[in-house]
Chain A
Amino acid sequence: MKVLDVIGPIMIGPSSSHTAGAVRLGRIARNILGEEPVSAKLTLHGSFSKTYRGHGTDLALVAGLLGMNTDDERIPSAIKIAERKGLKVSFSEADLGDVHPNTVRFELKSAGDKKAVVVGSSTGGGSIEIVKINGFETSFKGEFHTLITQHEDKPGVISEVTTVLAQYGINIAFMRVSRKEKGNLALMIIETDNPIPNGVRDKIAENRKIYSAIAIEPI
């Protein structure tokens, strides 16, 4: 581990997994929605559901949904700030199945009625993993620039996406495709070494077989 990761990061306490990791989960869920959320239903699982009040996990998750960073001193007032900004938040506890003990499901809606359902885990030391988006199983940690597409499960779509990335000199580090059933809709996660500019994202989204393309920065 780098010396500045050993002495650091600067963060709002009390816990790297239950506070800092929770802020990052909220931020990534917000970015996956791609618009300002106006409604957020949060379901907490395992250790998150048992200890969230004492660790301020609820405040941290909402702070992330508001776009705050892990060292933002407004985190303790995040729920009040959300109320002021018109973000409706509700919390419930449930068993989300065979997932990490620190897992949360976000059901988000924007003013423009855009929706996203994101399931993610805080895996320790502030690291996170997104395990489900809109019902599709997936896996990424938000450490890279990431392109998320929902597209028709048809031959050639993947290469059309990667061709655009190649044209702009964007190198792919990792990628993963998942689907619920054959020939219907698929979800693809592409993690890249280079930033994915809006223009590149829009060019990919022009493809009629691609229903949505979202580019998010490392969290």
Chain B
Amino acid sequence: MIDYSVASLVKMAKEKNTKISDVVIEIEIELEGVSRETLIQQMKQNLDVMQKAVERGLKENLKSTSGMSGGEGRMLEKARLNGKLNSGDTIMKAVARAMAVANVNAAMGKIVAAPTAGSCGIIPGALLSAAEHIKASQDEILMALFTAGGIGRVITEKATVSGAEGGCQAECGSAAAMAAGAIVEMAGGSPDQVSNAVAFALKNVLGLVCDPVGGLVEVPCIKRNAMGAANALISSDMALAGLQSFIPADEVIGAMYEIGKKMPVEFKETALGGLAATPTAKRFYKV
């Protein structure tokens, strides 16, 4: 049994002079006894559902079942196309797409939990927007999803991706870390740079609590997906520029887990604290 860590993925990729995505696929074949074809086929289906969710969220005026949210991704995309925003096209494309997917999720549409349903917009938003910018092929995006999956697997083995166990840092933080690493590889970065991007993205949101209004995956989750997509792009750019994380990715993941375990239960998806306990939240959602 291998020690599934970011450091070991980087080490194996360097030794074999290959990419982290290749290492992730090789390990998956060995550990889970699945064929390469099955892995590729299922990941293709995931990518297809991600792309369709982006399209749907940008096109349709979706309302959530509770009525608390809806249409944010579409609204943002409209403003971006009208040239009204300041943050730049790649970032705002990513943010609008991330929110569009989160809108689809809140409206009971079809999404890919990546790693969770609550954080499902971050990877498609950030990855597909970056892919468009660098003109990556469908196959390159597909391989980047394996890089994201490998990083996510490390986090599930060494820590958690569940908001109920580790707060939002574990959900949206992990999704951003997975997306950041994936973008670095897709953009031609080295395995070490992938690892740095993971560390940056997760460090940026350490301590973030999970305090959804009424316990629903809407407020603040949909906007946290926007933040997660932007975080992923910024972190991948810092890594591609050669910046180094003082604390290695695996230690950051360890710190995230420690913080998650010590986080009061009111801030772990129970809707008992934070935004969920504000007067407005209580007025809207009488529990």
Looking at the assembled complex, report how far the CB atom of A46 sits from the nearest CB atom of chain B, in whole angstroms: 11
Residues of A near B190 (CB, < 8 A) are none
Q: Measured between alpha carbons, how far is A56 from B123 in the docked complex, in Å?
A: 24
Interface centre among A14, A15, A53, A125 (most CB of B within 10 A): A14
Partner-contacting stretch, out of A2-10, A130-138, A156-164, A201-209: A2-10
Q: Nearest residue in A to B66 (C-beta to C-beta)?
A: A54
**With A1-B157, A7-B43 as contacts: A13 and B152 at CB distance below 8 Å:** no
> Is there a chain B Cβ closer than 8 Å to A124's Cβ?
yes
Q: Measured between alpha carbons, how far is A15 from B217 in the docked complex, in Å?
A: 7
Partner-contacting stretch, out of B112-120, B202-210, B226-234, B245-253: B112-120
Q: Nearest residue in A to B114 (C-beta to C-beta)?
A: A7
**With A11-B113, A14-B64, A54-B66 as contacts: A4 and B216 at CB distance below 8 Å:** no
Are B108 and A14 in contact (CB-based, < 8 A)? yes
Are A3 and B153 in contact (CB-based, < 8 A)? yes
Are B218 and A7 in contact (CB-based, < 8 A)? no
Q: Nearest residue in A to B123 (C-beta to C-beta)?
A: A7
Selected contact of B110 from candidates A3, A6, A12, CB within 8 Å: A12
Looking at the assembled complex, report how far the CB atom of B284 sits from the nearest CB atom of chain A, in whole angstroms: 11
Residue interface mask A125-168, B partner, CB < 8 A = 1: 11000000000000000000000000000000000000000000
Q: Measured between alpha carbons, how far is A3 from B31 in the docked complex, in Å?
A: 11
> Is there a chain B Cβ closer than 8 Å to A50's Cβ?
yes
> Is there a chain B Cβ closer than 8 Å to A59's Cβ?
yes
> Is there a chain B Cβ closer than 8 Å to A71's Cβ?
yes
Are A16 and B153 in contact (CB-based, < 8 A)? no
Q: Measured between alpha carbons, how far is A126 from B59 in the docked complex, in Å?
A: 29
Are B108 and A13 in contact (CB-based, < 8 A)? yes
> Is there a chain A Cβ closer than 8 Å to B58's Cβ?
no
Residues of B near A124 (CB, < 8 A) are 162, 164
Looking at the assembled complex, report how far the CB atom of B122 sits from the nearest CB atom of chain A, in whole angstroms: 12
> Is there a chain A Cβ closer than 8 Å to B214's Cβ?
yes
Q: Nearest residue in B to A71 (C-beta to C-beta)?
A: B110
Number of interface residues of B (CB under 8 A): 50
Looking at the assembled complex, report how far the CB atom of A171 sits from the nearest CB atom of chain B, in whole angstroms: 18
Are A53 and B287 in contact (CB-based, < 8 A)? no
Q: Measured between alpha carbons, how far is A15 from B119 in the docked complex, in Å?
A: 10
Interface centre among A10, A50, A56, A75 (most CB of B within 10 A): A10
Residues of A near B91 (CB, < 8 A) are none
Q: Measured between alpha carbons, how far is A1 from B153 in the docked complex, in Å?
A: 6
Residue interface mask B183-220, A partner, CB < 8 A = 1: 00000000000000000000000000000001111100
Partner-contacting stretch, out of B81-89, B128-136, B142-150, B257-265: B142-150
Looking at the assembled complex, report how far the CB atom of B95 sits from the nearest CB atom of chain A, in whole angstroms: 19
Selected contact of A12 from candidates B108, B115, B116, CB within 8 Å: B108
> Is there a chain B Cβ closer than 8 Å to A68's Cβ?
no
Are B108 and A19 in contact (CB-based, < 8 A)? yes
Partner-contacting stretch, out of B10-18, B71-79, B99-107, B236-244: B99-107
Looking at the assembled complex, report how far the CB atom of A42 sits from the nearest CB atom of chain B, in whole angstroms: 17
> Is there a chain B Cβ closer than 8 Å to A47's Cβ?
yes
Residues of A near B34 (CB, < 8 A) are 4
Residues of A near B39 (CB, < 8 A) are 3-4
8 new A-B contacts, CB < 8 A, other than A13-B111, A51-B215, are A7-B145, A14-B216, A16-B113, A16-B117, A54-B214, A55-B217, A124-B164, A126-B113
Q: List 30 A-B contacts (CB under 8 A).
A: A1-B153, A2-B28, A2-B32, A6-B114, A6-B161, A7-B43, A7-B46, A7-B112, A7-B149, A8-B46, A10-B112, A11-B112, A12-B109, A13-B105, A13-B110, A13-B111, A14-B216, A20-B117, A47-B215, A51-B216, A54-B64, A54-B65, A54-B68, A54-B215, A54-B216, A55-B217, A56-B108, A124-B164, A125-B116, A126-B113
